[in-house]
Amino acid sequence: MATQTHDQLLQTIQNALAACGYTGELSGGNLQTRTPLTGEDLFAIQGTTKEQATEMITAADEAYKSWREVPAPRRGNVVKRWGELLTEHKHDLGILVQVEAGKSISEAEGEVQEMIDICDFALGQSRMLYGKTMPSERPGHRLMETWHPIGVVGVISAFNFPVAVYSWNTANALVCGDTVVWKPSEMCALSALGAHALLARAIEECGEDQNISHLILGDRNVGEVLLDDPRVALVSATGSTRMGREVAPRVASRFGCYLLELGGNNAGIVTPSADLDLALRGIVFAAAGTAGQRCTTMRRLIVHESIADELVD
């Protein structure tokens, strides 16, 4: 990737997006995409306005009314087909992730594999949405537990895993009968276009309503629409602890639900009995994998004083 000229890189991106099924414009917009691989600007694509975001929520809310009535195994077919398309275009989407997140191609394709795996999981869940039956104190009666979809789910994802986190939320939400409006990091808009296009293809091929899935592109200002709209029943947000502190009270103030996946401050503990070579390999990967940009990145070491100097060296 690094040996390509700028024009070759742009062509590689265009080819990858086309393979995923994206047919929109890649120029003349107000959202500038860049690559951390070289620091170069890529395409200026069209972002989403707040008005357009509200329209998407309206469409998703309307689609939800019929999508929730679709049998769960049939909903699972959409996710199954999405997983098949992701498998077919694993390298194409991996290229987009590599360009925008700066990952090695093996790490980028590994992230797409996580999408494929969650589709397999959610497909199984589509036939496992069980409820309990319980005895009642009234003669001749039993109580039945039934799970219902919640509504429109807003997904806000971060740049470090630009497509995997989106799929974790979306595959399960769709199977449960919810519709999805996704606001990815503005730093990874091209990856989002590719991932969303593949889901749109799956929805179309399965003969379902395209409005069960929407994509919002832009900065935090447009993403805030998801926080404040009462029709968004659940906001699932991944990012910094600071972001979570802003999202949680804002959604809670309208009695919405939120699901937060935030940054960690994980520590490794190394005892005198540890295999230091093994510990060192684990520490380096845990601290430096994905350039340290993981929710589970190791940030601290707690080492016994008898081995501290040796381990540090």
Catalytic residue among 137, 246, 295, 310: 295
- Measured CA to CA in angstroms, residue 85 lies from 60, 90, 180, 196, 227 at distances of 23, 8, 19, 11, 31
DSSP H helices in the chain: 6-20, 50-67, 72-88, 90-101, 105-125, 164-176, 189-205, 220-228, 241-252, 276-288, 308-312
Give the containing element (helix H, strand E) for 43. Answer: strand 41-45
SS3 129: coil
Residue 140 identity (one-letter amino acid): G
Name the active-site residue from 62, 107, 114, 261.
Answer: 261
Give the DSSP letter string of 199-266: HHHHHHHTT--GGGEEE--S-HHHHHHHHH-TTEEEEEEEE-HHHHHHHHHHHHTTT-EEEEEE---E
Check if the beta carbon of residue 219 is closer than 8 Å to that of residue 244: no
DSSP letter at 156 equals: E
Residue 36 exposed, middle or buried by CB count within 10 Å (0-12, 13-18, 19+):
middle
Spatial separation of the C-alpha atoms in residues 24 and 310, rounded to whole Å: 56
Fill in the DSSP letter of residue 148.
-
R_g of the chain, CA atoms, integer Å: 22
Residue 82 has a CB neighbour count (10 Å cut-off) of 30
Question: What CA–CA distance (Å, rounded) separates 242 from 77?
Answer: 38
Residue 295 a catalytic site member? yes
Annotated active-site positions, please? 261, 295
